């Protein structure tokens, strides 16, 4: 509150619980929140700008805020370091077979399951945004070759080669590790399905820290069970929380985390940093950072 208030002494800042926000909406010009119900937009007649604490905005698609003229910004960029570390931790686990050693430890079984070497492998990063670039940087630092994919092709300081969406098959065919960091938009829903998984090497590992909707989970489970994919590490799922009956819980070649790759101590402080910088810009009439492109979907 103090940090936001310090952006300008004449700004009136109100912190309220979601269930208590409605009486304050008619006066609100700016909202810092996560989700924005349609009823809020209808009541907030003075609303001009909403900042959401997440990077993804798929939870807002099609709602009253999305179709309004209200300026929308997000918190993309703050997750890059923690998410990339989460990904690289998983890559090294599979490279060195550490996931197998965890199973053996629980069974009190002494088995020398010797892993491979990560250096020299090819990492395909699908989505070279802030997170994808950091995954590429750390992978390169560990000796991997990196192929990246982004919607508009341009060079990356950390990728050996960058392709556009039409190069997805090429990327999947040559990658030992496929990392999904692409935003969920209509064109990427279930983008990785049975056909795309058929392009992946049988010894490859799929890592998803994007959105669960980017992957066809049924096709992924089939590929894992049939040995057409060595393993998967998943932080996001089509249904969250992941249902107890999901086979992904029990497959020995799957690592699961409960949508926490982007979480870290100080998360709220990082969101406030972005918001305060934008609040100063807003009050000065300057362009804001992280403006959501509604046509692109993120």
The Cα 183–Cα 297 span in angstroms is 8
The Cα 193–Cα 205 span in angstroms is 15
**Secondary structure E strands in the chain:** 30-33, 49-52, 71-73, 122-126, 145-149, 161-163, 177-180, 205-208, 231-234, 254-256
* Residue burial 217-242, b: 16+ Cβ < 10 Å; e: rest: bebbbebbeeeebbbbbbbbbbeeeb
Choice among 29, 111, 173, 240 that is catalytic = 240
The Cα 87–Cα 124 span in angstroms is 12
Of the candidates 139, 159, 137, the residue with the CA atom closest to the CA atom of residue 148: 159
Q: Is 259 in the active site?
A: yes
Q: And the tokens for 173? A: 């065919």
Q: Is 18 in the active site?
A: no
Those residues whose C-beta lies under 8 Å from the C-beta of residue 41, and which sit 6 or more positions away, are: 47, 63, 64, 65, 68, 70
The residue assigned the tokens 């795309």 is: 196
Choice among 104, 259, 280, 281 that is catalytic = 259
Q: Is 240 in the active site?
A: yes
Cross-strand bridge partners of residue 205: 177, 231
Q: Where are the alpha helices (DSSP H) in 68-205?
A: 80-95, 98-106, 130-141, 168-174, 194-198
Choice among 133, 211, 217, 238 that is catalytic = 211
CB atoms within 10 A of CB 9: 6
Instruction: Give the catalytic positions in this structure.
Output: 211, 240, 259
């Amino acid at each position: 509150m103090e940090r936001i208030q310090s952006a300008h002494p004449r700004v009136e800042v109100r912190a309220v619980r979601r269930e208590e926000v409605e009486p304050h909406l008619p006066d609100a010009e700016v909202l810092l929140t996560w989700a924005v119900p349609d009823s809020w937009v209808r009541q907030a007649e003075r609303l001009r700008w909403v900042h959401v604490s997440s990077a993804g905005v798929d939870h807002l698609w099609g709602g009253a805020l999305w179709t309004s003229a209200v300026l929308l910004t997000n918190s993309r960029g703050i997750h890059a370091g923690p998410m990339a570390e989460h990904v690289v931790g998983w890559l090294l686990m599979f490279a060195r077979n550490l996931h197998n050693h965890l199973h053996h430890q629980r069974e009190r079984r002494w088995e020398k399951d010797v892993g491979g070497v990560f250096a020299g492998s090819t990492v395909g990063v699908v989505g070279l945004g802030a997170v994808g670039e950091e995954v590429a940087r750390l992978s390169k630092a560990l000796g991997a070759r990196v192929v990246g994919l982004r919607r508009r092709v341009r060079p990356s300081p950390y990728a050996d080669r960058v392709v556009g969406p039409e190069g997805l098959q090429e990327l999947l065919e040559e990658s030992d590790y496929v990392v999904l960091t692409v935003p969920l938009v209509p064109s990427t829903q279930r983008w990785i399905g049975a056909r795309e998984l058929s392009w992946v090497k049988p010894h490859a590992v799929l890592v998803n820290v994007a959105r669960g909707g980017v992957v066809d989970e049924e096709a992924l489970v089939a590929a894992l069970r049939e040995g057409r994919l060595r393993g998967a590490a998943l932080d996001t799922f089509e249904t969250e929380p992941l249902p107890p009956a999901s086979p992904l819980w029990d497959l020995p070649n799957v690592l699961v985390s409960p949508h926490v790759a982007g979480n870290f101590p100080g998360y709220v402080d990082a969101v406030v940093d972005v918001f305060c910088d934008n609040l100063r810009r807003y009050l000065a009439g300057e362009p804001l950072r992280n403006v959501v492109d509604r046509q692109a979907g993120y």
